[in-house]
Amino acid sequence: MDERILNFISKMHLLSLAVISEAKPYAASCFYAFDSENFSLIVAGDDKTTHIKALEISSEVAGTIALDTKIVGKIEGVQFRGVMSKASEDERKIYFKRFPYALAMRPQIYAISLQWIKFTHNALGFGKKIEWSRNF
């Protein structure tokens, strides 16, 4: 994965997650930790929420991570697609290391295995995009 993508994802902490629920699109905001070795985004969730229930139908998800700015030259962000499933013990440790206060809520932890990313970074040139996809 391109270093610029790794650096961007590593410095951010909030993503927008999109799923299909009852044949309709649904989005949720989630705090995340990044597993840079396995290219996974790790999030907390609850079985009662729409975005977690949607995983029973399809584990494929999409989303965005964006820098909050109004300055066009500083716009940067990613669009992603991935496969979401319950996190491993190592992934749980990564999440709770970044968000130790979440332990008190005893959340379920999920990992989004990134499959495709499109990174926009206007400081590299207006409209410049860098794409990455997982090789199988």
The model's pLDDT over 21-48, given as tens digits with 9 standing for 90+, comes to 989 999 999 999 999 999 999 999 998 9
User: What is the pLDDT at residue 136?
Assistant: 58
Q: How many residues does the chain have?
A: 136
Quick one: pLDDT at residue 125? 76
Q: Read off the pLDDT of residues 43-66 as tens digits, 9 standing for 90 and up.
A: 999 989 889 899 889 999 999 999
For the whole prediction, is pTM greater than 0.85? yes
- What is the mean predicted confidence (pLDDT) over 106-117? 96
Long-range contacts of 57-62 (CB under 8 A, 24+ apart): 57/20, 57/21, 58/19, 58/20, 59/83, 59/84, 59/85, 60/84, 61/17, 61/18, 61/19, 61/112, 62/17, 62/18
Domain formed by 3-130, architecture: Roll (2.30)
Q: What is the mean pLDDT of residues 4-31?
A: 95
